[in-house]
Amino acid sequence: MKKILIAGNWKMNNDVDESLKLVSEIESFISEKESLKCEVLVCPTFLSIFPVSQKIKNTKLQLGAQNCYYEPKGAFTGEISIEMLATEGVSHIIIGHSERRAIFNETDELINKKLSAILESGLTPILCIGETLDQREQGKTYDVLSSQLDKCLLGIQHSDVPKIVIAYEPIWAIGTGVSATTSQVDDAHNRLRKYLLDFYADGAKNTLLLYGGSLNEKNAAELLALENVNGGLIGGASLKSKSFTEIINIADDILK
Ligand code: PGA
């Protein structure tokens, strides 16, 4: 049965008050719905995680973090551990976002360490991969995606593969208002599923594959309906409750 995860990546937006306002709007929308079929996740800044966690306790909303460090504690100024996030009710952690790779020089090797540590803790990693426009134009998209997966998934147990969420986010589509086309997303997700099945056998059928990159309430119906798309990692459109809740409705319609 198809599963859909709608994940809002708030990035470095929303102070604590704004985060609480946005999450309250999303929560009251969900609680007024007769039933919720998709999973819904919000990923605020570290600063807002604690108050948002208090606010959504015992609701259907899930809480994610945008990053973590793989060591449990110690002299790592500016970092936050997986255990600290778990204690506050975080269930998912985004790793390898292209902004972290490009601006903060995160490598596949570092992302692999984070991935292993998150799996060990029992939380769910959302591993982001994606190609630049240049790489796509040179026909290198699938070499880039396979190489990112080869390195980020190195040493991962087969049994852990269904516990990983993978977000395909073409870098050229992030924050641009221009999403990848339906056929580009279809093709990429079919190939990602094939890659996972080839390496990790049947368990990989259950790995959730999200699409990210200018996903919004206008293109969600087409993209989320694709066979190997199991949801979205949503930046811009997750910052407005109206857009985000419309996407939730669209996902629920698909799962009807
Ligand atoms: P966007 O961001 O929806 O604003 O393109 C997606 C992301 O970076 O996760």
Query: Average pLDDT in the 168-193 region?
Result: 97
Q: Ligand 1 mean position to 67 CA, how many Å?
A: 15
Is residue 97 part of the annotated active site? The answer reads yes
Choose one of 14, 215, 223 to mutate for the ligand 1 pocket test, by most ligand atoms within 8 angstroms of C-beta. Answer: 215
pLDDT above 70: percentage of residues in the chain: 100
Average pLDDT for residues 196-214, to the nearest whole number?
Answer: 94
Question: What average pLDDT does the chain have?
Answer: 97
pLDDT score of 152:
98
pLDDT value of position 6: 98
**Looking at ligand 1, which residue's alpha carbon is closest to its atom 2?**
235
What is the atom index within ligand 1 of the atom nearest the CA of 174? 5
The pLDDT of residue 153:
97
Question: Hey, which of 233, 238, 244 would you mutate to test ligand 1's pocket, going by the most ligand atoms within 8 Å of its Cβ?
Answer: 233
Task: Tell me phi and psi for residue 195, to 5 degrees.
Answer: -55, -50
List the catalytic residue out of 27, 131, 169, 217.
Answer: 169
3-state secondary structure string across the chain? CCCCEEEEECCCCCCHHHHHHHHHHHHHHHHHCCCCCCEEEEECCHHHHHHHHHHHCCCCCEEEECCCECCCCCCCCCCCEHHHHHHCCEEEEEECCHHHHHHCCCCHHHHHHHHHHHHHHCCEEEEEECCCHHHHHCCCHHHHHHHHHHHHCCCCCHHHHHHCEEEECCHHHCCCCCCCCHHHHHHHHHHHHHHHHHHHHHHHHHCEEEEECCCCCCCHHHHHCCCCCCEEEECHHHCCHHHHHHHHHHHHHHCC
Q: What span, in angstroms and rounded, lies between the C-alpha atoms of 252 and 255? A: 5
User: What pLDDT, on the 0 to 100 scale, is given for residue 202?
Assistant: 86
Can you say how many angstroms the Cα of residue 71 is from the centroid of all Cα atoms in its chain?
A: 22
How many other CB atoms are there within 10 angstroms of residue 252's CB atom? 18
pLDDT at 8: 98
What distance in angstroms lies between residue 238's CA and the mean position of ligand 1's atoms? 9
Which of 97, 131, 217, 246 does the annotation list as catalytic? 97
Instruction: Report the share of the chain in percent with pLDDT over 90.
Output: 98
Distance, CA 212 to ligand 1 centroid (Å)?
A: 6
User: pLDDT tens across 113-172, in order?
Assistant: 999 999 999 999 999 999 999 999 999 999 999 999 999 999 999 999 999 999 999 999
- β partners of residue 69: 81
For 214-223, what is the mean pLDDT?
A: 98
Q: What average pLDDT does the segment 174-185 reach?
A: 97
Q: How far is the CA of 27 from the centre of ligand 1 (A)?
A: 21
Asked if pLDDT for residue 102 goes beyond 90, the answer is yes
Mean pLDDT for the stretch of residues 222-231? 98
Mean pLDDT of 178-203: 95
23-51 tens-digit pLDDT:
999 999 999 999 999 999 999 999 999 99
**What region does 231 belong to: left with phi over 0, alpha with psi -120 to 50, or beta?**
left
Residue nearest atom 3 of ligand 1, based on CA coordinates: 235
In the annotation, is 88 catalytic? no
Q: How far is the CA of 110 from the centre of ligand 1 (A)?
A: 22
> What is the Cα–Cα distance from 182 to 184, expressed in whole angstroms?
6
Q: Is the pLDDT of residue 1 over 90?
A: no
For residue 176, give the ligand 1 atom closest to its CA.
5
| Cα dihedral: 110, 116, 118, 121 (round 10) | -140
Phi-psi region at 65: left, alpha or beta (left = phi > 0; alpha = psi -120 to 50): beta
Band of pLDDT at residue 201, cut at 50, 70 and 90: confident
Q: What is the average per-residue pLDDT within 207-224?
A: 98
pLDDT at 55: 97
User: Which protein residues touch ligand 1 with a CB less than 6 Å away?
Assistant: 9, 169, 174-175, 212-215, 233-237
| Nearest atom in ligand 1 to 237's CA | 3
The answer on pLDDT for 70 being more than 90 is yes
Among 168, 214, 219, 247, which residue has the most ligand 1 atoms within 8 Å of its CB, making it the best to mutate?
214
